[in-house]
Amino acid sequence: MNRVITIDGPSGAGKSTIARLVAERLGFQYLDTGALYRAVALYLRQKGLGEDVRDQEIASLLKGLILSFKDGKTFINGEDVSGQIRTPEIGHYSSVFSARRPVREFLLEIQRRFPEVQDTVCEGRDMGTVVFPGAWRKFYLDASEEERARRRYLQLRSAGKEITMEAALRDVRERDLRDSSRDVAPLRRAEDAIYIDTTSMGIEEAVKEILRHL
């Protein structure tokens, strides 16, 4: 097994950009597991599923899904869906469907295959606790609720989307609650993860802090 670095934390803590840069500097591949959950959500939505669907139906639909992630791009049955998974709607449904057991079981195996090929930086919510409990190094990135809402607001505005600060804060709180209170693989810090608060840190500073620990 190659080396695995896990980076977990709530949405808006800066994980994706930081994890990608850490991977680049170290020559590791980067695995964005949020993108995998988003792709599953997009696929289930395309199949017409809503929030109240039964586990059995999810499990049977997932049998027809071939999911891949390569060079930062996400594919559903060979089609590049990297743009389509970055909408607020799919963000919402990825959080909803990620609480469902068949979805987590489906992605568990897929995620574990990545480090078989190459050293990997794995970013998500349960990398250090469930998917790679024996990882080489573990990090937990956090930031205050207000700062994470502010980042979400700026990100959506720069993408041309209409949103208010209040709505961004509400979104962040809702997502935190759902991601950390679910029964299967809830968001929590692994005991052996190094905690980094990025509230008043720039991206480069956070990357350096991680590299320093390595």
List residues binding ligand DC (CB under 6 A). 11, 33-34, 37-38, 91, 94-95, 98, 124-126, 175, 179
Q: Which residues contact residue 198 at a Cβ distance below 8 angstroms, ignoring those fewer than 6 apart? A: 13, 14, 18, 141, 142, 143, 206
Angle between helices 15-26 and 203-213 (to 10 degrees): 50
Q: What is the largest CA-CA distance in the chain?
A: 47
| Minimum gap (Å) between residue 15 Cβ and ligand DC | 7
Contact by Cβ (8 Å): 142, 130: no
123 or 201, CB closer to ligand DC?
Answer: 123
Q: Are 200 and 209 in contact (CB under 8 A)?
A: no
Q: What's the closest the beta carbon of residue 1 comes to ligand DC, in angstroms?
A: 19
Q: Minimum distance between the CB of residue 109 and ligand DC, rounded to whole angstroms? A: 14
Residues 6+ apart with CB under 8 A from 89: 45
Q: How far is the CB of 208 from ligand DC (least distance, A)?
A: 22
Q: How far is CA 10 from the centre of its chain?
A: 9
Tally the residues of the chain: 214
Residue 96: phi and psi, rounded to 5, are -65, -55
List strand residue ranges (DSSP E) for 112-192, in order. 120-124, 137-142
Q: Compare residues 27 and 191 and give the one whose CB is closer to ligand DC.
A: 191
Tokens coding 136: 């080489």
Compute the distance between CA of residue 74 and CA of residue 79 in angstroms, rounded to an integer: 8
Report the nearest approach of ligand DC to the CB of residue 71 (Å). Answer: 17
The C-alpha R_g of the chain, in whole angstroms, comes to 16
Residue nearer to ligand DC on the CB measure, 35 or 61: 35
